[in-house]
């Protein structure tokens, strides 16, 4: 049984990030894979052996502060799952909490898990808009589509690779040079949408890694993604034409 584990979805699912959970589950079901969604609630302990893909959604500053202590307490379990090959997708606030800290505009510091060497400080202007990001994954270059809405400016540590390079959008700190982070199967990104419906290639990479972790065939049956491709194409057209 594949287990999809969203972390604190009742607080970290801003801008429809819970859609990412539904897409992974549905793309598994379309392939006849046994799958269940096992949300981790505040106060519950993550069992690293009972997760095949972990999702951490975005949140307002206050939601991040509410979950930080509980999330930090899960760091050993998260580290163990990651070391065992469990993929992690962390979006925006979730991405920021992969790092050492998030400092909001008032200067209030929310500690992070420190799982990835990065740090985020809020800027005075929110970075908002549709995004297009060049992502190299699985030996192919993809155009990731979605939108961003964050005050945070994230700096990656020297050994941390960006997930992609923005073609449209501000990226990690507004300079448009780097978007997200990737360390092996841990992916952080600022891209909401939700992200996965219009980026099925990313959903399937996460699902393939999850299958591999669970001892299932990581080669997935091809699905008819014409609808997903049409949605992505529309998003690309809008992102290319809108001015910021």
Dihedral, CA atoms, 68, 71, 75, 79, nearest 10 degrees? -120
What is the footprint of ligand GLN within residues 201-230 (CB under 6 A)?
none
Task: Please state, in angstroms and rounded to a whole number, the distance separating the CA atoms of residues 99 and 93.
Answer: 10
Q: Which helix (H) or strand (E) holds 196?
A: none
What is the footprint of ligand GLN within residues 89-128 (CB under 6 A)?
92-93, 96, 122
Distance of closest approach, residue 218 Cβ to ligand GLN, in angstroms: 30
Q: How many residues bind ligand GLN (CB under 6 A)?
A: 14
How many other β-carbons are positioned within 10 Å of the β-carbon of residue 125?
10
Nearer to ligand GLN, 95 or 209 (CB): 95
Q: Looking at 92, 150, 211, 213, which residue is catalytic?
A: 92
Q: Is 213 a catalytic site residue?
A: no
Q: Do residues 68 and 99 lie in contact, with contact meaning Cβ atoms separated by under 8 Å?
A: no
Instruction: Residue 138: name the closest of 77, 69, 209, 70 by CA.
Output: 209
Q: Looking at 121, 192, 211, 213, which residue is catalytic?
A: 192
Structure tokens at 76: 């050993």
Q: Is 211 a catalytic site residue?
A: no
Dihedral, CA atoms, 52, 115, 63, 59, nearest 10 degrees? -70
Task: Please state, in angstroms and rounded to a whole number, the distance separating the CA atoms of residues 129 and 189.
Answer: 14
Which of the 8 DSSP states describes residue 20? H
Nearer to ligand GLN, 122 or 131 (CB): 122
Distance of closest approach, residue 47 Cβ to ligand GLN, in angstroms: 26
Nearer to ligand GLN, 87 or 93 (CB): 93
14 binds ligand GLN (CB under 6 A): yes
What is the footprint of ligand GLN within residues 56-95 (CB under 6 A)?
58-61, 64, 92-93
Nearer to ligand GLN, 16 or 25 (CB): 16
Catalytic residue numbers read: 92, 192
Binding site for ligand GLN (CB under 6 A): 14, 58-61, 64, 92-93, 96, 122, 149-152
């Amino acid at each position: 049984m594949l287990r999809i584990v969203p972390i604190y979805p009742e607080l970290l699912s801003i801008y429809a990030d819970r859609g990412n959970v539904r897409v992974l589950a549905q793309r598994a079901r379309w392939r006849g894979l046994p799958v269940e969604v096992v949300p981790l609630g505040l106060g519950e302990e993550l069992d690293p052996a009972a997760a095949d893909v972990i999702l951490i959604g975005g949140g307002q500053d206050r939601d991040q502060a509410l979950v930080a202590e509980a999330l930090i307490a899960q760091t050993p379990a998260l580290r163990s799952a990651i070391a065992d090959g469990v993929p992690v997708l962390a979006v925006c606030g979730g991405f920021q909490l992969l790092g050492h800290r998030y400092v909001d505009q008032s200067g209030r510091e929310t500690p992070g898990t420190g799982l990835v060497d990065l740090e985020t400080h809020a800027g005075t202007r929110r970075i908002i808009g549709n995004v297009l990001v060049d992502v190299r994954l699985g030996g192919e270059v993809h155009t990731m589509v979605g939108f961003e809405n964050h005050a945070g400016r994230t700096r990656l540590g020297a050994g941390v690779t960006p997930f992609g390079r923005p073609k449209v959008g501000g990226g990690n700190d507004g300079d448009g040079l780097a978007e997200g982070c990737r360390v092996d199967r841990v992916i952080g990104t600022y891209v909401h949408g939700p992200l996965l419906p219009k980026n099925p290639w990313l959903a399937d990479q996460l699902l393939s890694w999850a299958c591999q972790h669970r001892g299932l065939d990581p080669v997935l049956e091809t699905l008819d993604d014409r609808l997903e491709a049409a949605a992505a194409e529309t998003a690309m057209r809008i992102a290319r034409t809108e001015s910021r």
